Amino acid sequence: MRNRKYKKSFSLLPYIIVLVLAMIVNLGIFSVLRFNSAQLEIQLSGIQRNINRYTLEERQLRQVLSGLTSPIRIQHLYRDQLGMVAGTLEVITIRRANLAASPAPQPEAQAGWRDSMFAFFGFTAN
Mean pLDDT for all residues in the chain: 80
Say how far apart CA 56 and CA 71 lie, in whole Å. 25
- Structural domain including 123 reads 71-100+111-126
Look at residue 92 and tell me if it is in a domain: yes
Q: What pLDDT does 84 receive?
A: 79
Q: What pLDDT does 1 receive?
A: 47
pLDDT < 50 stretches in the chain: 1
Q: What pLDDT does 80 receive?
A: 85
Count the domains in the chain: 2
**Same domain (yes/no): 45, 92:** no
**Same domain (yes/no): 20, 62:** yes
**Same domain (yes/no): 64, 22:** yes
Q: What pLDDT does 75 receive?
A: 82
